[in-house]
Chain A
Amino acid sequence: MEFDLSLLLNGIVSGLLLGGLYAAAASGLAVSFGMLDIVNIAHPALMVTGAFTVVVLGTWLGLDPLVVAVLQAPLFYVFGIGIYNAYHHFFEKRGDEALQGLAFFFGVMFIIEVGLVMAFGPEQRFLDPSYAYTTWRIGDIDLPLRMLVPGLFAMACIGGLFLYLHRSFTGLAIAAVAQDAEALRLMAIDPVRIKRLAFGISIALASMAGGALVVVQPVEPSSGQVFIGRVFAICIMGGMASLPGCIMAALLFGVVENVTATFFGPSWSPAVAFGWLLLVLAFRPQGLFGKAA
């Protein structure tokens, strides 16, 4: 493919928009995996669950998918607390969280996928908002609202979470539990309660990411599988517990994928994107925004 400035600019812009979706998918994991050290491999499956409930509720209520995603977030928060309680009771409390905890979340992922097939069937489900087929054009640059609106929604959600984590007492406690749970206990704060709350928030974010996903593409029960590798890679590249790092890594991932697809073909996209991950880790093992131990 010959070099063309318009192609390059569009590749970068579409990559940034794709990165917005990746950021939405990875932000919840930055809380559970990055801050709480819980390898929640079921996170993308929970995102897809959120997408399905968005489709059902949005169709029923006649509301925009992103509005439904916000409205349903408290339910997913409660659901997340339930999952954490089971995880804590059966694994974390016994010190079995490393391998058996991972197996637990694998199990949760499979149960969710099969449960979605049983409940909704294997067919694709969709809920297109009115703007889904509109594309803004600025010069040679295309901005499909199907990608732009979920990207902005993701940034707003992550921004809100960032403020909460840095401005509220509980938010600071969540950041603290990631560093030293025992020190938190000395401050008369129950670290398990804080982790439960934080995990609930991560699942609420998964449900909001599900809303963003519905706007971008139709969903089917196995839709989460293509995101598993990407969201963990973004989390690690961003520096685990860093939300700005998560956003930067997600945007970088999207841009690298799309520019590569434009000029060298889509087959190279994952290889080059994950190659960037290796490169970042080679020079900054703590990730883009992580703090060195």
Chain B
Amino acid sequence: MQNISRRDFGRLALASAVAGAGVSAGVFPALAQSANPIRIGFSMSLSGGLAGNGRAALAAQQIWASDVNAKGGLLGRPVQLVFYDDQTSGGQVPAIYTKLLDVDKVDLVTSPYATAMIAPAMPVVMQRQMCFVTILGAGVNTTFKYDRHFNMNVVGDNMKETFAKGFLDIAGTLEPKPRSIAILAVDNDFAQRAAESARFLARQRGMRVVYDRSYPPSTVDFTPTMRAVQAARPDLIYIASYPPDSNGILRAASELRISAQMFGGGMVGPQLAAFQAQLGPILNNLVNWDIFSVEPTMNFPGVAEFLTKYREVAAKEQTDVLGNYIPPYAYAQMQVVEQAVKRVGKIDQAALAADMHSQVFDTIIGPVTFSSTGEWAHERNLLVQFQGITDGDLERYKRPGAKVILYPPNLKSGTPRAPYGTPA
């Protein structure tokens, strides 16, 4: 295995930023002879609000590049990543992709992390008719309907009817049967779609929606909001939030001793090591949307080896130390590109898109197929429950049992514990 030191990481960044092949040779000496690398360009949030996930994704993609180059490259050519920091600003993204395609003349493009950064790239990518493999977008192509867009996200085609299904299916197994739900969501695209799904499915099942509000991302104190949720006396509490709101919400719920048959939903944050370290037992019995857990049912070929490599790099690079959220998907995103290029045998955007529409991709997160819209053909929204958490020790998250999968049934690794708000 090739270790990537901090200095090498910096070299990679510099190499990509200035597109300097000379620096790449220092990192991949075995490939120094090749003067014609396959260059993959993208923007990534390396500073600003999404930098936590952006830098974790980049670390995974660089491990992929290192792995591919160690095996002789792609089509006999070394792979070179060309990336720029979009500073978590959607306004920067179109200019970056224009530069990547018109000035750097990269061979392939992939996406930055998440919907707010992917959407601004779409017009530029579509104008150049590039094949575009994105990561964790939510319904971006619903508007664009671009037939060369492929999204690595478990959500699938029909977020409204599927995203909150697992949460409500699990709730349906509890006794007594929950009859009311409170919904709280941050004012952003992903969370609003998640809340829409919860609202739609809850009403379909005859539940009363007793609280249904949004909050602005600039909210500092969640105590009054959670008290209002508590006053509505819901059986279920469905939250769609982003970090750092998720932290404030969970701490407020703990301070107010909020209890419900089920609490959680579509919170982004509890998947990350920093949250798990700080919140410790507050996470117990939280039932939350996720995309990966180190349970035996998700031990796909290659994922354990990847996580070992990632954790070595992450500790040095001060990014998410566990890598149980974005990183396996970022690696798999690049595996999709790799496998399509290998099958097609050349850089042909139309042929690559045709391949991605028709083939199954074997990745470290399992087999992946894409639908006609470029979303996953079969949604795989995980609902996990934190169980038996006694403190902020992160070692337990490297082993099965801390984040038990309750949904979908084919990946299920444990049974639900209720209610939320009781000691483990």
Q: Residues on A close to B: CB < 8 A?
A: 1, 4, 7, 10-11, 14-15, 17-18, 21, 113-114, 117, 120-126, 128, 133, 135, 142, 144, 146-147, 217-218, 220-223, 226-227, 229, 254, 257-259, 261-263, 265-267, 269-270
Contact = CB atoms under 8 A, between A and B. Distances in A.
Interface stretch (B49-57, B300-308, B333-341): B49-57
Q: Which of B88, B218, B222 has the most CB of A within 10 A?
A: B218
Contacts of B187: 267
Contacts of B256: 135, 142
Contact of A142 (B88, B243, B255): B255
Contacts of A270: 216, 218
B317 A14 contact: no
B47 A221 contact: yes
A25 to B, nearest CB: 10
Contacts of A133: 254-255
Contacts of A226: 217-218, 220
B215 to A, nearest CB: 4
B228 to A, nearest CB: 5
A121 B55 contact: yes
Interface stretch (B200-208, B244-252, B284-292, B401-409): B244-252
A144 B218 contact: no
Contact of B52 (A18, A123, A146, A229): A123
B99 interface: no
Contacts of B215: 261, 265-267, 269
B171 to A, nearest CB: 24
Residue of A123, A217, A222, A254 contacting most chain B CB atoms (<10 Å): A123
B189 interface: no
Interface in B180-235: 187, 213-225, 227-228, 231
Nearest to A213: B220
Contacts of A113: 47-48
A131 to B, nearest CB: 12
A14 B248 CA distance: 14
Contacts of A4: 231
Contacts of B223: 10, 14, 18, 142, 144, 147, 258
Nearest to A122: B51
A217 B247 CA distance: 8
A265 B244 contact: no
Nearest to B254: A133
Nearest to A114: B47
B61 to A, nearest CB: 16
B9 interface: no
9 contacts: A14-B223, A124-B278, A133-B254, A146-B251, A217-B251, A220-B49, A229-B218, A258-B224, A265-B228
Interface string B267-287: 000001111011000000000
